[in-house]
């Protein structure tokens, strides 16, 4: 625990909102060796899952733990980190961090990292301290401290450098895991967002969880970050919410889309998932595609399950262990990959050709709709000059229609 009686209090204060009330805190300079990173920092959540996946633990030793997390902080947003470090080196630390009295930095991890590097580089004794407000953790609930963290993160421009996957993980932790500690309405208020936007993020987070379960790699969020799954999953969400997709078909559709995400390893995956909507929204075409891939999906599930069983057998663990498996990458046989790609591309191309063939009908239908929008009474009341223009356009429309009739 940090003893504030042994710290240097400077002539600064900061006011934060806690429990809905404004509270003013003194600011102290805290030696860096008394501090520890927050392993629940949303910006590095997937880096931590990746490390645990490979090493099966986080270091217990504070010094080794801090070295590891510092590395993740820098890697997660290297350009933003360099900017922060340069600013602190030139101007000093301007904005105080927030630290719990147990030494955990809840806001200011990038500033903490910059100071650590500057101290190691011998930039000056002044860089050996973090300027921060200290909050007694025993006086506030986890939710109240998280609320403060959200308020600060979303009040700064720095929120834009949040990786989409890390933001999705934060949504999972705050709104889904163990029933969630916030309601969508509360979270929208604390993050200066809208409830509908937060509900969308909840759907994306649940889809990510479903996808990781589908590939037999539950909670390995780094896979989503490495494969940049945010865009494809948002397209999956749009397709599943389409009123042209039958409710009873949605689980089959989800499996179809997940299989495509898994087997598409290059190019614009988001666009390719979007193209599948052409097939999925036509029930007869969807059924045809699903039947064609039915055996392949069974083979795919068997292969994914086999990978899991082989790895667990190699390591010597059982289903009820807390150990998170290796490897972090999912590899699928070429035969299955090529089959899913071939069938998907065939049906998408067929749908595109069909749409092109029907384009004249759709264009004419839209033209008729526009003509029906014309107010006939208003047309009769047109002044002479406008009436002449109106009649001229009618003649042009009649000639176009006549030409189409003659060509058919």
Q: How many C-beta neighbours within 10 Å does residue 306 have? A: 11
Three state DSSP letters for 375-388: CHHHHHCCCHHHHH
> pLDDT per residue over 375-385, tens digit each?
888 888 888 88
Average pLDDT, the chain: 87
Residue 329 pLDDT: 55
Enumerate residues 6+ apart whose C-beta is below 8 A from 38. 104, 105, 106, 109
- Domain containing 379 equals 374-408
Q: Say how far apart CA 404 and CA 191 lie, in whole Å.
A: 57
Angle at alpha carbon of residue 54, lines to 53 and 60, rounded to 5° = 85
For residue 96, is it within any domain? no
For residue 285, is it within any domain? no
For residue 387, is it within any domain? yes
Query: What's the chain's length in residues?
Result: 408
Average pLDDT over residues 351-355: 78
> pLDDT per residue over 76-116, tens digit each?
888 989 999 999 999 999 999 999 999 999 999 999 999 99
Average pLDDT over residues 280-284: 93
Contact 262, 243 (CB under 8 A): no
> pLDDT per residue over 191-236, tens digit each?
888 999 999 999 999 999 999 999 999 988 888 888 889 999 999 9
How many domains is the chain built from? 1
The residue with greater pLDDT, 248 or 353, is 248
Contact 262, 330 (CB under 8 A): yes
Residue 52 pLDDT: 86
For residue 130, is it within any domain? no
For residue 399, is it within any domain? yes
For residue 11, is it within any domain? no
Helix (H, G, I), strand (E, B) or coil at 328: coil
CA dihedral 265, 266, 267, 273 (to 10 degrees): 0
Q: Say how far apart CA 309 and CA 245 lie, in whole Å.
A: 35
Q: Say how far apart CA 342 and CA 324 lie, in whole Å.
A: 34
For residue 12, is it within any domain? no
For residue 407, is it within any domain? yes
Q: Residue 313: is its pLDDT beyond 80?
A: no
Q: Which residues is 14 bridged to in the sheet? A: 25
Q: Which residues is 98 bridged to in the sheet? A: 107, 133
Contact 111, 93 (CB under 8 A): yes
**Cis amide leading into 21 (omega within 30):** no
Alpha helices in 216-319 (DSSP H): 221-227, 230-240, 250-263, 269-275, 277-280, 283-315
């Amino acid at each position: 625990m940090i003893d504030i009686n042994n710290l240097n209090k400077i002539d600064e204060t900061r006011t934060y909102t806690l429990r809905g009330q404004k509270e003013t805190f003194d600011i102290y300079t805290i030696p860096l060796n008394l501090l520890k990173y927050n392993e629940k920092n949303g910006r590095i959540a997937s880096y931590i899952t990746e490390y645990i996946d490979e090493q099966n633990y986080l270091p217990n030793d504070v010094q080794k733990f801090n070295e590891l997390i510092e590395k993740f902080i820098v890697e997660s947003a290297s350009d933003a980190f360099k900017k922060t470090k340069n600013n602190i080196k030139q101007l000093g630390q301007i904005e105080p961090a927030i630290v719990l009295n147990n030494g955990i930095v809840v806001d200011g991890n990038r500033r903490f990292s910059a100071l650590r590097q500057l101290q190691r580089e011998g930039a000056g004794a002044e860089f050996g301290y973090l300027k921060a407000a200290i909050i007694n953790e025993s006086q506030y609930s986890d939710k109240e401290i998280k609320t403060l963290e959200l308020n600060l993160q979303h009040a700064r421009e720095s929120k834009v450098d949040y990786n989409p996957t890390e933001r999705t993980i934060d949504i999972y932790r705050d709104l889904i895991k163990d029933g969630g500690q916030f309601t969508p309405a509360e979270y929208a208020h604390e993050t200066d967002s809208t409830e509908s936007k937060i509900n969308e993020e909840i759907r994306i987070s649940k889809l990510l969880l479903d996808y990781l379960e589908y590939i037999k790699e539950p909670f390995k969020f780094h896979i989503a970050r490495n494969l940049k799954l945010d865009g494809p999953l948002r397209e999956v969400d749009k397709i599943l919410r389409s009123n042209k997709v039958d409710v009873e078909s949605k689980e089959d559709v989800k499996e179809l889309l997940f299989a495509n995400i898994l087997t598409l390893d290059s190019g614009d995956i988001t666009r390719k998932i979007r193209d599948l909507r052409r097939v999925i929204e036509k029930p007869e075409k969807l059924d045809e595609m699903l039947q064609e891939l039915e055996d392949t999906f069974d083979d795919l599930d068997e292969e994914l399950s086999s990978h899991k069983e082989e790895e667990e057998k190699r390591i010597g663990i059982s289903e009820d262990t807390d150990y998170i498996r290796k490897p972090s990458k999912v590899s699928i046989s070429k035969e299955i990959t090529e089959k899913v790609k071939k069938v998907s591309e065939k049906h998408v191309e067929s749908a595109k050709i069909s749409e092109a063939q029907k384009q004249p009908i759709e264009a004419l239908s839209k033209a008729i709709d526009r003509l029906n929008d014309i107010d006939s009474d208003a047309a009769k009341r047109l002044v002479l000059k406008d009436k002449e223009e109106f009649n001229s356009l009618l003649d042009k429309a009649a000639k176009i229609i006549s030409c189409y009739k003659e060509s058919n």
